[in-house]
Amino acid sequence: MKDTRIRQVLARRVWDSRGRPTVEAEVTLGDGALGRAIVPAGASTGTREALELRDGGSAFGGLDVQRALAHVQGEIAAALAGCDAADQAALDRCLIALDGTPDKTRLGANATLAVSLAAAHAAAASAGLPLYRWLGSTLGGGPATLLPMPQIQIFGGGAHAGRRVDIQDFMVVCPGATSFAQALEWTAEVYRCAGLGMRRRGPLHGVADEGGWWPDFDTNEQALQALVAAIEEAGFAPGAQVAIALDVAASEFGRDGRYRLGLEGRELDADGLIELLLRWIERYPIVSIEDPLAEDDLDGFARFTRAAGRRVQVVGDDLLVSQAARVQEAAAAGAANCVLLKPNQRGTLTETLDAWRAAQAAGYAGIVSARSGETEDTSIVHLAIGWGVGQLKVGAFARGERMAKWNEALRIEQRLGAAARFAGAAAFGHSR
Ligand code: PGA
Ligand code: ZN
């Protein structure tokens, strides 16, 4: 018998893709197996997310994480000493009880998630399995052979690009692709053609936080037109082969039922925004829309889902914050048909899985998602495959912290060989 009891928990400060401090945890087991994980950070965060504990003060703009690191090496390490890392649910229950608050406001979700995830890595290492297989054989209980449909950003906007466009993510998915590798090949061509097109029309401000091109557009709709042009220039049929996914991230520009489109100098109410999005769905090959309305507008979400939910996937990010109870509440209201899963929105692996289980019970689809502040950590790829979630959103087809994830999924696809299945268009929420 391997000794999977936790022997040591270490924390260190590392740096994310925006050059900001973040938490890395390292868990060592009795048999010497070691697991390591780094926590990412959002910019357009939902107000109901679990707390990301930052130090405040003047160093690094108040974003240092010394308090979270101290919690990992102090209280958490002491409480988990001797705990069985192979029993993730019990370990996470221990973290939740130790924190004692609904949203990890005492220890910080960055402290708890780093340890929760590092422990999973350690348990997988002890079992001699890659993390996705370990998750498939324990937590998720699935075959862990489903490769996700990638949602890949082509243009970045909103809080990730100086708010040059109001819509945050203009992304593509590849419903016509027959494998994960092929979806990446197609997206690579679309991303390249979009960049060439942007340079031609200029000016281009480089790339946004998640690696998408960051151009000057006069209207949000211009970005949609440019995206269709890039798909065509790359040689693909818009819609059938390569389609559009949006993250409106409406909480960023909407409050109390008013939505301010700064780029176009106009303000809409919820129904005005819904009408605008419905018009875009008519005109452009859009198959997925995330956060079409603000996080506090469950009613608006439900109205939009009634109007568009059979044609497009309606994704709740800020609305659902990877929380099972929020998913159940939204499902009861008929709001959204897909959950975005970001482990650091809740602070443990088990609670994130609970949100996915609640989503499946409600007939929702799911997307495992990175944050805008990322690192070389590729754990989320393993979560997507290990839990059989079917879709993965990581940002653009550029920047090392993004490519690390796409490349990790390619490795897994190759390792699985003939056993690998590609989620394809069936992954989308509206087709269920
Ligand atoms: P965030 O953005 O990581 O800045 O929250 C990602 C998203 O909104 O999906
Ligand atoms: Zn989002």
Structure tokens at 80: 């988990």
CA of 46, nearest ligand number: 1
Same domain, 62 and 169: no
Residue 367 belongs to some domain of the structure: yes
Residues 255, 297 within the same domain: yes
Structure-block tokens of residue 34: 């070691």
Is 210 considered catalytic here?
yes
Q: Mark whether 89 and 24 lie in a shared domain.
A: yes
Cα separation of 411 and 273, whole Å? 41
Q: Map residue 295 onto helix, strand or coil.
A: coil
Q: For ligand 1, is residue 153 a contact (CB within 6 Å)?
A: no
Q: Residue 398 in contact with residue 191, Cβ under 8 Å?
A: yes
Residue 306: pLDDT over 60: yes
pLDDT at position 17 over 90: yes
- pLDDT for 163: 79
Q: Are residues 187 and 217 in the same domain?
A: yes
Q: Which of 52, 290, 295, 342 is catalytic?
A: 342
Q: Of 26, 49, 210, 252, which is the active-site residue?
A: 210
The CATH number covering residue 92 comes to: 3.30.390.10
Angle between helices 180-201 and 400-416 (to 10 degrees): 150
Comparing C-alpha atoms, which of 5, 49, 118 is closest to residue 295?
A: 49
* Residues 115 and 156 placed together within one structural domain of the fold: no
- Angstrom distances, CA of residue 159 to CA of 98, 165, 291: 34, 9, 14
Element (H, E) at 308: helix 298-308
Domain boundary among the residues 80, 96, 128 is at 128
The residue type found at 353 is L
Give me the half-sphere count of Cα atoms (radius 13 Å) on the Cβ side of residue 423.
26
Beta-bridge partner residues of 290: 247, 315
Residue 254 has pLDDT above 60, yes or no: yes
Among residues 64, 99, 128, the one where a domain terminates is: 128
Q: Where are the alpha helices (DSSP H) in 338-399?
A: 349-361, 379-386
Instruction: Compute, in degrees rounded to 10, the torsion defined by CA atoms 66, 47, 45, 135.
Output: 80
- Asked if residue 42 has its Cβ within 6 Å of ligand 1, the reply is yes
Please give the pLDDT value at position 216. Answer: 84
Residue 283 maps to which CATH number?
3.20.20.120
State the Cα–Cα distance between residues 194 and 392, nearest whole angstrom.
21
Distance CA(248)–CA(250), nearest Å, equals 5
Give me ligand 1 centre to Cα 32, in Å: 36
Same domain, yes or no, for 392 and 366?
yes
The token pair at 29 is 């087991």
β-bridge mates for residue 5, sequence order: 84
Tell me the C-alpha distance between 175 and 173, whole Å: 6
CA–centroid distance for 390 within its chain: 13
Catalytic status, residue 342: yes
Backbone dihedral region of 355: left (phi > 0), alpha (psi from -120 to 50 degrees) or beta?
alpha
Kindly state the average pLDDT of the residues 274-279: 98
Residues 118 and 234 in one domain: no
Strand order in the sheet with 254-255: 254-255, 258-261, 266-269
Distance, in Å, from the CA atom of 186 to the CA atom of 149, rounded to the nearest integer, reads 12
Instruction: Please work out whether the CB of residue 344 comes within 6 Å of at least one atom of ligand 1.
Output: no
**Domain identity same for 123 and 210:** no
Residues 123 and 188 in one domain: no
Whether residue 134 lies inside any domain: the answer is no
Q: What pLDDT is attached to residue 200?
A: 87
- 342 phi and psi, to 5 degrees? -125, 105
How confident is the model at residue 116, as a pLDDT?
A: 98
374 CB within 6 A, ligand 1: no
Within a domain: 350: yes
pLDDT of residue 205: 76
Domain boundary among 99, 128, 157: 128
pLDDT of residue 141: 61
User: Is 1 inside any structural domain?
Assistant: no
Residues 118, 159, single domain; the answer is: no
Q: Which residues contact 275 (CB under 8 A, 6 or more apart)?
A: none
Q: Identify the band that residue 140 occupies on the pLDDT scale cut at 50, 70 and 90.
A: low
- From the number of C-beta atoms within 10 Å of its C-beta (0-12, 13-18, 19+), residue 375 rates as buried
**Residue 5 above 60 pLDDT?**
yes
- Structure tokens belonging to residue 157: 């906007």
What is the model's pTM? 0.97
Q: Count Cβ atoms below 10 Å from residue 33 Cβ, excluding itself.
A: 21
pLDDT tens digits for range 323-345: 999 999 999 999 999 999 999 99
29 inside domain: yes
Quote the number of domains for the chain. 2
Determine the Cα angle at 385 with ends 22 and 330, to 5°: 75
Give yes or no for residue 139 having a pLDDT over 90: no
pLDDT digits (tens, 9 = 90+) for 288-298: 999 999 999 99
DSSP β-bridge partners for residue 143: none
What residue ranges in 95-253 does DSSP mark as E strands?
146-147, 149-156, 169-173, 204-207, 213-215, 243-247
What number is the average pLDDT over the span 260-285?
96
The answer to whether 197 touches 233, Cβ cutoff 8 Å, is yes
Residue 137 lies in a domain: no
Residue 153 predicted with pLDDT over 80 = yes
Rounded to the nearest integer, the mean pLDDT of the chain is 95
Model confidence over 185-212: pLDDT tens digits?
999 999 999 999 988 887 777 888 999 9
Same-domain check for residues 301 and 342: yes
Q: Please give the number of the atom of ligand 1 that sits closest to the Cα of 318.
A: 8
Ligand 2 mean position, distance from CA 17 (Å): 18
**pLDDT over 80 at 29, yes or no:** yes
Q: Indicate the pLDDT class of residue 44, thresholds 50, 70 and 90.
A: confident
Instruction: Give residue 432's pLDDT.
Output: 45
pLDDT band per the 50, 70, 90 thresholds, residue 143: confident
Q: Is residue 223 part of a domain?
A: yes
The ligand minimizing its distance to the Cα of 210 is 1
Alpha helices, H only, 140-263: 180-201, 220-233
List the structure tokens of 53: 């504990």
User: pLDDT (tens digit, 9 = 90+) per residue, 46-86?
Assistant: 999 999 999 999 999 999 999 999 999 999 999 999 999 99
Q: Is residue 42, in this structure, part of any structural domain at all?
A: yes
Q: Which residue of 368, 369, 374 sits with most ligand 1 atoms within 8 Å of its CB, as the best mutation to test the pocket?
A: 369
Q: Indicate if 160 and 47 belong to the same structural domain.
A: no
Please determine, for residue 431, whether its predicted confidence score (pLDDT) is greater than 70.
no
Dihedral of the CA atoms 23, 102, 45, 346 (nearest 10)?
A: 60
Q: What is the pLDDT of residue 343?
A: 98
Q: Compute the average pLDDT of residues 154-168.
A: 88
Domain span at residue 121 reads 6-128
Other CB atoms within 10 A of residue 196 CB: 12
Cα–Cα distance, 340 to 323 (Å, whole number): 10
